[in-house]
Amino acid sequence: METFYLIIVVILFMLAIFDLIVGVSNDAVNFLNSAIGAKAASFKTIMVIAALGIFVGATFSNGMMDIARHGIYQPEYFYFEEIMCILLAVMLTDVVLLDFFNSLGLPTSTTVSMVFELLGGTFALALLKTTNDPSLDMSQLINTDKALSVIMAIFVSVAIAFFFGLVVQYISRMIFSFSYQKKLKYFIGVFGGFSATAIIYYMFLKGLKDATFITSEAKLWVNGHISILVPLFFIASTLLMQMLHWMKVNVFRIIVFLGTFALALAFAGNDLVNFIGVPLAGYSSYLDFINTPGATPDTLLMTSLTGSANTPWYFLVGAGVIMVVTLVRSKKAQAVVKTSVDLSRQDEGEESFGSTPMARSLVRVGLLFSGNVNKIVPESAKQWIETRFRKEDAILANGAAFDLVRASVNLVLAGSLIALGTSLKLPLSTTYVTFMVAMGTSLADRAWSRDSAVYRITGVLSVIGGWFITAGAAFTICMIFTAIIHYGGAVAIFVMIFIAVFLLVRSQIIYKKKNQKEKNSMLQHKELFSNTTKDPLTVFREYTYQQIDKLMGVSIETFDLTISSFIKDNLRGLRQASGKIKFAKQHMKQVRRVGTVAVSNMENSVTFEKGLFYQQGSSFATEVLYSISRICEPCYEHVDNNFTPLRDQQKDELKGVSDQILALMKQGREIMFAKNYDHFDDYQMAAESLNKQLGALRREELTRIRQQKDSIKMSMVYLTTIQELQSMVSNLTNLLKVCKRFQDL
């Protein structure tokens, strides 16, 4: 029996390694996005600073391990086998869930996942125990007070982080403006001193009490002299920062380096429990089990877990090594960082998210509120404020998403809030705090213009929604896993481990394929937006033709599938066509946004005129797709409701014209691809002839309706289809005209 549970402990630590790898890929955004977004230094330099922060922070994390030991469940009411069941289910759920979000490139909360997994697993066994033993109740088994305080701290931190990010950044921008170099001689010493003091206070003075290498006497001395140490730190750091400024050193860059180190330290100190806290609780439980004479897994209550953790230093250092290696090598970490940086970018560019009704409503409310505030603010005050927010004066490094002022505020504020939570032993979500601070500072900096706000808000809502999905999924999946392990025993354990490994391997394969597929597109987008591209017009033209060619390919496929499925009364085919059309619409919106921003970055009049033709061409190409959508929707509804199908004559008529349109679409795509418009006049004549044929079919169907020879419902769908086919043919012709002008101009 001891051997079996030893194997379980080994499995827990193996899963912890996977969890560290997956978790760091997710949480790297927390301490890298500001330094990378502001291009404060080279990528290698930023990584070295973050790695040092992780190592130091790992030594501060011992006190947080208590959350996994007795923060959610009451261990004195659970037997050894029950605790091991919960802990194993938590680790299996955590690894798979976090890897799923990383593959999507979305940051999610490792703290939320761990807390709700522990809650779900504990709830499952508590439910079974209270059912079998009426003398027990849920409040005895679940540490409801602590669980509630942890959950409230996590979610309240969202509002706090956003509010303080907004306020502090607004004040900072009012002081420094975007042209911050002019104000440095007056304020940089105090700003740098305050930033450094906040970091030192929360990172070291508050964190020292949990460090494994500090003696109790030293901790008592530090705690007793904080009121003296803090003012001394402030005075010393203020003088140091001012002297560095006089020595022509960029103090903001120093603050960013210090903040990156501090936030990495806070991350390791606060979040390490999310990755190794559960295995360490399992290891501690196993030691108690083998050291208790006569103990059996189903009789030994885990009262020992009620005590504080005393984690051996080599576990913390080992975890730090794995985290650093993952940080440097993980491609998924870079994808998650990109999502956060894109949403806080100062300028417009390629937006990763679309538009949603809620985002549009929030933008309207924001504009209404802003308009009302502007009415009561004096004109002179508004003019002065505008001078602080002139984006054209912004000092940005080459390729930076925002400046060093905002990066400094992001890091100092987020690090302070997280470290404060750590000192109170509240596992605040580092992802929640850093992400919402970044969103608050970007809003204060007016990075969300009217042309981009709806996309940024959609992105924020998507990330926040992902957090809530994480909470629900973590609770539900872990509850189910716990029940399966409890009843299935060893067989269920190894089956679930196999499934988890399979899902991880499959996720890696899918991610690599997706990543390889996106590389060419990313390179082209980089050229498209780069100011140093040798021939932006050539790149823009190639991009335009490539995207229109892709859209035409999708249009041909979905049109053929829609018409053939409608003729055959095939609901499954229409459902597939509807899904493909929906995806293509979203992709086309993204493509048009990319093209619009590319046009705005081009200066000469000829290129701008090309941009107008691009807009017209993409509009006609999109209209072709929307015509197919307007055909598919009523056809799908008609077939889904089992209404009267097409008559044989109508099938023959529709099949005949659809084959001709399909041939016309393929011919037009070939002409655009070859860029050879010698036979354009023949193409145009064929399209006109086809439109006349469609008009004749429409008149014939109207005659049949008047004579009441056909089902009204079926006739209306048929007429809609014919009308949209006419629109398609016209848009195909117009698309080819615009592409010809686009090429010849």
For 222, residues 6+ apart whose C-beta sits below 8 A from its C-beta are 205, 208, 209, 229
φ/ψ (deg, to 5) at 346? -70, -40
How many whole angstroms separate alpha carbon 530 and alpha carbon 536? 8
For residues 242 and 229, give the distance between their C-alpha atoms in angstroms, rounded to a whole number. 20
What pLDDT was estimated at residue 263?
78
Please give the Cα distance from 20 to 24 (Å, whole number).
Answer: 6
**Average pLDDT score over residue span 522-530:** 53
% of the chain surpassing 70 pLDDT: 78
User: 16 and 98 in contact (C-beta within 8 Å)?
Assistant: no
- CB-CB contact of 529 with 350 (8 Å): yes
Cβ(19)–Cβ(267) under 8 Å? no
Q: Bridge partners of 295?
A: none
User: Higher confidence at residue 208 or residue 509?
Assistant: 509
Question: How many helices (H) does the chain have, and how many strands (E)?
Answer: 25, 0
Phi/psi region, residue 489 (left: phi>0; alpha: psi -120 to 50; beta: rest), is left
pLDDT of residue 479: 92
SS3 207: coil
Task: Kindly tell me the burial class for residue 745, based on how many C-beta atoms sit within 10 Å of its own C-beta (0-12, 13-18, 19 or more).
Answer: exposed
pLDDT at 45: 85
Tens-place pLDDT, residues 567-622: 998 989 999 998 888 888 877 777 766 666 666 666 555 555 555 666 677 778 88
pLDDT above 90: percentage of residues in the chain? 5
Tens of pLDDT along 377-425? Answer: 888 887 887 887 777 777 777 767 778 888 888 888 887 787 777 666 6
Quick one: average pLDDT of 28-52? 78
Average pLDDT over the chain reads 78
Whether 476 contacts 118, CB under 8 Å? no
pLDDT of residue 347: 57
pLDDT level of residue 525 (50, 70, 90 thresholds): low
The b/e string for 320-357 (b: 16+ C-beta within 10 A; e otherwise) is: bebbbebbbebebbbbbbbbbbbbbbbbbbbbbbbebe
Does residue 102 or residue 402 have the better pLDDT? Answer: 402
Region for 642 from its dihedrals, namely left if φ exceeds 0, alpha if ψ lies in -120 to 50, beta otherwise: left
Window from 110-124, 153-167, 484-498, 536-550 with minimum mean pLDDT: 536-550
pLDDT at 337 over 70: no
Give 387 or 666, the one with higher predicted confidence.
666
Assess whether pLDDT exceeds 70 at residue 522.
no
The CATH class for the domain spanning 530-744 reads mainly alpha
- Whole-number Å distance between alpha carbons of 373 and 268: 42
565 — pLDDT class (breaks 50, 70, 90): very high
Provide the angle, in degrees to the nearest 10, between the axes of the packed helices 2-37 and 110-132.
150
Map residue 429 onto helix, strand or coil: coil
Instruction: State the pLDDT at residue 560.
Output: 92
Confidence of residue 532 (pLDDT cuts 50, 70, 90): very low
Q: What is the mean pLDDT of residues 44-68?
A: 73
Longest Cα–Cα distance of the chain, Å, equals: 101
pLDDT band at 107 (very low <50, low <70, confident <90, very high): low
Handedness of CA 212, 213, 216, 222 (dihedral sign): negative
pLDDT at position 197 is 86
Span 182-192, pLDDT tens digits: 777 778 888 88
Would you kindly state where each structural domain of the chain is located, as residue ranges? 2-519, 530-744
Write out the two tokens for 611.
């941009």
**Region at 448 (left for phi over 0; alpha for psi -120 to 50; beta for the rest):** beta
Lowest mean pLDDT among 94-108, 131-145, 471-485, 580-594: 94-108
The answer to whether the CB of 79 falls within 8 A of the CB of 287 is no
Residue 235: per-residue pLDDT: 92
Q: Is the pLDDT of residue 343 over 60?
A: no
Phi/psi class of residue 307: alpha, beta or left (left: φ > 0; alpha: ψ in -120 to 50)? beta
- pLDDT confidence of residue 277: 81
Give the residue from 119, 106, 108 showing the smallest Cα distance to 151: 119
CB atoms within 10 A of CB 700: 14
Residue 460 pLDDT greater than 50, yes or no: yes
CA-wise closest residue to 36 among 265, 332, 339: 339
* 202 has pLDDT over 70: no
Per the structure block, which two tokens stand in for 195?
A: 């930033």
Q: Which of 292-301, 306-315, 606-615 is the most confident on average? A: 292-301
CA distance 67 to 425: 8
Handedness of CA 41, 43, 47, 53 (dihedral sign): positive
Query: Does 206 or 225 have the greater pLDDT score?
Result: 225
